[in-house]
C-alpha cells in the first residue's frame, strides 16, 4: 500500500481528498497545524472510510520539524500539499503571514523532497492566477496575470518555485488550478468549517439559510453578465478531491509527459450568484433573504474553466451538478448546527 502525505489534510479540500485516497487503497499520513482546522475531522474521515489516517500535528513553517518528519517517514510515495492560508482580505492585511505560511512551508517541503531519488508532488493552485481572463472558458494556456492580493501572489510564486525546482531535481509535480470548490461529503461527516463570518458565497448562503446570518449581500448586480451578477465555476469538493487522486496516480505510474504539468479543475459551467441562490432555494425548499449591494473590490466578472485538458489527459471529469453540490453543503450546515 503506497503511503501518501497530505499536508493540510484536516482542512476542507484536504479532508475530502484523504477520504478519496483511502477509498482507493492509499495509506494516508496527514500533517496539519490546525491553524484553520479541527482535529475531530479525523473522526469524520474514519466514519466514512472505516480507517483512521495517521496524523502528525506539525507546523510546516518549522524547518527542523519538516526534516524530522521525512526522517521518520522515509517511504512517502507522494505528497499532496494543501496546507496554506486562503483568505484574500486577510492576506492584504497581513501579507507576511501569507508569505510565511504559503511560501516558507512549500520551500521546506521541497528541500526535503529534492534530496530524494524520486518525488511526486501535487500542488493546490487556483484559477486566481488567471485574473480576469480575456476569453471564456479559461484554458491552461491563458496568461497568468499580476496577482491582486498577497494570497494570489503566493499561488503564482508557489507555481514558479515548483517549476524551478523540478528543472534541477527528481521532483515531478502537477499543479491543479481549482475553480470554486463548494459542498461537502454526501454523508455529511465532513465539510467546510469557516471560522468567523464566511467570505465565500456558499458558506454564507447556508449560514443565512440556517438563521446564523440575517441576509446575504450580493456583491454587484451591474456586471456585464446575463443577470448582472458575477459568474464562477462552482465545483463539488468531492469531484475536486477525486481529481487529486487521479493526478497522483498519473505521477506514481510515471505517465506525466513533463516534470511539471498544469490542469484546470472545474466543471466547465459558469453559474451566476443569483443562480446559486436559486439552487439553494430549490434544494432547501426555503427562501433565502438577500439584498443587492455594491461590487466587492477585487472581484472579477467571470471565470469558468475549459476542462478539456483535464478530461482528455487526466481522464477526470466533474460529475456533480450545482444543485447536488449546494444540497450537500446544506445537509452539512444542518448537521453541524443540530
Ligand atoms: C475567492 C477568492 C479567490 C480564492 C477563493 C478561495 C476573492 C476576490 N477571490 O474566490 O482568490 O481562490 O475565494 O475559495 O476573494 N459573493 C457575494 N456575497 C458574498 C460572498 C460572495 O455576492 O457574501 C459573490 C462574489 O462577489 C463572487 C461569488 O459570490 O462573485 C463567489 O465569491 P467567493 O465564494 O468569495 O469566491 P471568489 O471570489 O470567486
Which pLDDT value is given to residue 258? 98
Catalytic sites, residue numbers: 151
- pLDDT score for 40: 96
How confident is the model over 196-238, as pLDDT tens digits?
A: 999 999 999 999 999 999 999 999 999 999 999 999 999 999 9
pLDDT at site 118: 82
pLDDT of residue 192 exceeding 90, the answer is yes
pLDDT at 1 over 90: no
Atom of ligand 1 nearest to the CA of 303: 39
Band the pLDDT of 167: cuts 50, 70, 90.
very high
Give per-residue pLDDT as tens, 33-74. Answer: 999 999 999 999 999 999 999 999 999 999 999 999 999 999
Given pLDDT bands bounded at 50, 70 and 90, which one contains residue 193?
very high
Whether the CB of 177 sits within 6 Å of ligand 1 = no
For the chain, the straight-line distance linking the first and the last C-alpha, in angstroms and rounded, comes to 38
Q: How far is the CA of 290 from the centre of ligand 1 (A)?
A: 16
Decide: residue 309, CB within 10 A, 0-12 exposed, 13-18 middle, 19+ buried.
middle
Q: Which helix (H) or strand (E) holds 309?
A: helix 308-309
Structural domains of the chain, with CATH: 3-182+235-265 (3.40.50.720), 201-232+268-305+312-337 (3.90.25.10)
Separation of 180 CA from ligand 1 center, angstroms? 8
Nearest to 33 by CA among 51, 7, 15: 7
Q: What is the pLDDT of residue 300?
A: 95
User: 209: which 3 cell numbers?
Assistant: 439559510
Q: Is the pLDDT of residue 116 over 90?
A: no
> Rounded to two decimals, what is the model's pTM?
0.98
pLDDT of 338: 87
Kindly report, residue by residue over 138-162, the tens digit of the pLDDT.
Answer: 999 999 999 999 999 999 999 999 9
Amino acid at each position: 500500500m503506497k503511503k501518501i502525505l497530505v499536508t493540510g489534510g484536516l482542512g476542507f479540500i484536504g479532508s475530502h481528498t484523504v477520504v478519496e485516497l483511502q477509498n482507493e487503497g492509499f495509506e494516508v499520513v496527514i500533517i496539519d497545524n490546525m491553524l484553520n482546522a479541527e482535529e475531530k475531522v479525523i473522526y469524520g474521515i474514519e466514519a466514512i472510510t472505516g480507517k483512521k489516517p495517521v496524523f502528525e500535528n506539525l507546523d510546516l513553517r518549522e524547518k527542523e520539524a519538516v526534516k524530522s518528519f521525512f526522517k521518520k517517514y522515509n517511504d512517502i510515495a507522494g505528497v499532496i500539499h494543501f496546507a496554506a492560508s486562503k483568505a484574500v482580505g486577510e492576506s492584504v492585511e497581513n501579507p507576511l503571514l501569507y508569505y510565511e505560511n504559503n511560501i516558507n512551508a512549500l520551500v521546506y517541503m521541497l528541500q526535503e523532497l529534492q534530496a530524494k531519488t524520486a518525488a511526486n508532488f501535487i500542488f493546490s493552485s487556483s484559477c486566481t492566477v488567471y485574473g480576469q481572463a480575456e476569453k471564456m472558458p479559461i484554458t491552461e494556456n491563458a496568461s497568468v496575470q499580476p496577482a491582486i492580493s498577497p494570497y494570489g501572489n503566493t499561488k503564482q510564486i508557489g507555481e514558479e518555485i515548483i517549476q524551478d525546482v523540478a528543472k534541477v531535481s527528481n521532483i515531478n509535480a502537477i499543479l491543479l488550478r481549482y475553480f470554486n470548490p463548494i459542498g461537502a461529503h454526501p454523508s455529511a461527516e465532513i465539510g467546510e468549517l469557516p471560522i468567523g463570518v464566511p467570505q465565500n458565497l456558499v458558506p454564507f448562503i447556508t449560514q443565512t439559510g440556517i438563521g446564523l446570518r440575517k441576509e446575504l449581500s450580493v456583491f454587484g448586480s451591474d456586471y456585464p453578465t446575463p443577470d448582472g451578477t458575477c459568474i464562477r465555476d462552482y465545483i463539488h469538493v468531492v469531484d475536486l478531491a477525486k481529481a487529486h487522486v487521479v493526478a497522483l496516480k498519473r505521477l506514481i505510474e510515471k505517465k506525466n509527459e513533463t516534470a511539471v504539468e498544469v490542469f484546470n479543475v472545474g466543471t466547465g459551467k459558469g453559474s451566476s450568484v443569483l443562480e446559486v441562490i436559486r439552487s439553494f432555494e430549490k434544494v432547501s425548499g426555503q427562501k433565502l433573504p438577500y439584498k443587492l449591494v455594491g461590487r466587492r473590490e477585487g472581484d472579477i466578472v467571470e471565470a469558468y474553466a475549459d476542462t478539456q485538458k483535464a478530461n482528455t489527459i487526466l481522464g477526470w471529469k466533474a460529475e456533480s451538478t450545482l444543485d447536488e453540490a449546494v444540497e450537500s453543503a446544506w445537509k452539512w450546515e444542518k448537521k453541524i448546527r443540530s
